[in-house]
Structure 1
Amino acid sequence: MTAPAIRTAPVPVLEILGLRREVLRPGLPRQAAVFPEDGDPAAFHIASYEGDAPEVLGCGTFFPEPFPGPLPEPLSGPPADSAATAYRFRGMASAPAARGRGHGAAVLRAGTAEAAARGAALLWCNGRTPARGFYERQGFRAHGEEFVIEGVGPHLVFFREVRPRTRRTGDVAGRP
């Protein structure tokens, strides 16, 4: 039996808060899963599902935010203005029962495509250090030294270059 296809969709933040809280803020009040960026009019939220099922199995929030510090080298093409073209994502989560089935990768692909359509040249996050292999498989590179977010754990900054959606194919250039 084949697994149902993964579908992604942009959704209101309320649709992903339950999963975000369960995975990233377990045992904490619901408000702990609400991020300041959720209210940013330029932010968007991606959810993933299996087949036609309504249960959110993966999620992420994407919003414009300058890359922290100097832009990593080498980036292809002319240097980008990180304030205008960088998108950050946070709140990436996959339901424990769905891990390893492609939901995180699907959320990143959909978020990357949408950020690219909005003019992003760089996508970055503060990712949990244990997730390094996942981010590297998705084409991200670690930047800088490990740091600790109190109450959450060790993190690294991960980034990857993105390019606007090509008109001919609809694909995002540079996608692994």
Structure 2
Amino acid sequence: MNYTIKHITATETYIVRHPVLRTGKPIETCTFDGDDLNTTFHLGIYIEDKLVGVCSFFKSKHQLLTEEFQYQLRGMAVLDEYQGFGLGKFILTHGENLLKQKNTQVIWCNARENAVEFYKKTSYKIIGNPFNIEDIGLHYIMHKTL
């Protein structure tokens, strides 16, 4: 499957964030704190000219991790009909490579329960205890050293 990965704006992520991560909720719930900071960047993966997957990276430290230079992965999503083709791995790896160039030491995320296996396959590890995010569900803190 031929794909292209591009830097996109926070607003452009909504076309994928909304149906995958905020199903049935108002579009405003697709806005994340820090989306527009100059240290944040958003990536989109395209099949032909259609945006089918997104992920966002926020400069943010987690208290359970000791590394100085950390980024948080948020809003990772691939449209349902494009899941299972490796697109999530492609866009995530692209973001990780960009963060390595910024001397980032660790990436962490709050992984939904149904995404834990995906992250494990890309070398992320669980730390801490599972927790619930209201109206969204059970999550695990996962991290990967770069």
> For the superposition of Structure 1 and Structure 2, which TM-score range results when normalised by the shorter chain?
over 0.9
For 1:92, give the aligned amino acid.
Answer: M
Identical pairs, percent: 26
Moved over 6 A (4+): none
Structure-1 residue corresponding to 2:55: 60
- 3-state SS in 2 of match to 1:110: helix
- 3-state SS in 2 of match to 1:37: coil
- 3-state SS in 2 of match to 1:92: strand
Contact kept in structure 2, 1:127 and 1:155, CA below 8 Å: yes
Structure-2 residue corresponding to 1:147: 131
Structure-2 residue corresponding to 1:24: 21
Distance in 2 (CA, whole Å) between partners of 1:27 and 1:154 is 18
Q: Is it true that 1:111 corresponds to 2:108 in the alignment? A: no
- The superposition leaves residues 40-60 of structure 1 with CA deviations (integer Å, 9 ceiling, x where unpaired) of 11100011112xx12111110
Contact kept in structure 1, 2:64 and 2:128, CA below 8 Å: no
- 3-state SS in 2 of match to 1:39: coil
- 3-state SS in 1 of match to 2:50: coil
- The superposition leaves residues 4-57 of structure 1 with CA deviations (integer Å, 9 ceiling, x where unpaired) of 32221111122211110111001111111010111111100011112xx12111
Q: Is it true that 1:121 corresponds to 2:121 in the alignment? A: no
TM-score (norm 1): 0.79
1:70 is displaced (CA, Å) by 4.1
Contact kept in structure 2, 1:48 and 1:107, CA below 8 Å: yes
- The superposition leaves residues 124-151 of structure 1 with CA deviations (integer Å, 9 ceiling, x where unpaired) of 0000012111000011001111100000
Q: Is it true that 1:5 corresponds to 2:2 in the alignment? A: yes
In the TM superposition, what are the counterparts of 1:26-175 in structure 2 within 5 Å? 26-50=23-47, 53-71=48-66, 80-81=67-68, 85-162=69-146
Distance in 1 (CA, whole Å) between partners of 2:54 and 2:65 is 28
1:62 is displaced (CA, Å) by 0.2
Contact kept in structure 2, 1:43 and 1:61, CA below 8 Å: yes
Note the residue ranges of structure 1 that are not aligned, 5 or more in a row: 72-79, 163-176
- 3-state SS in 2 of match to 1:16: helix
- The superposition leaves residues 105-138 of structure 1 with CA deviations (integer Å, 9 ceiling, x where unpaired) of 1111111111111221000000001211100001
Distance in 2 (CA, whole Å) between partners of 1:39 and 1:7 is 23
Instruction: Looking at secondary structure, tell me which structure has more strand per residue.
Output: 2
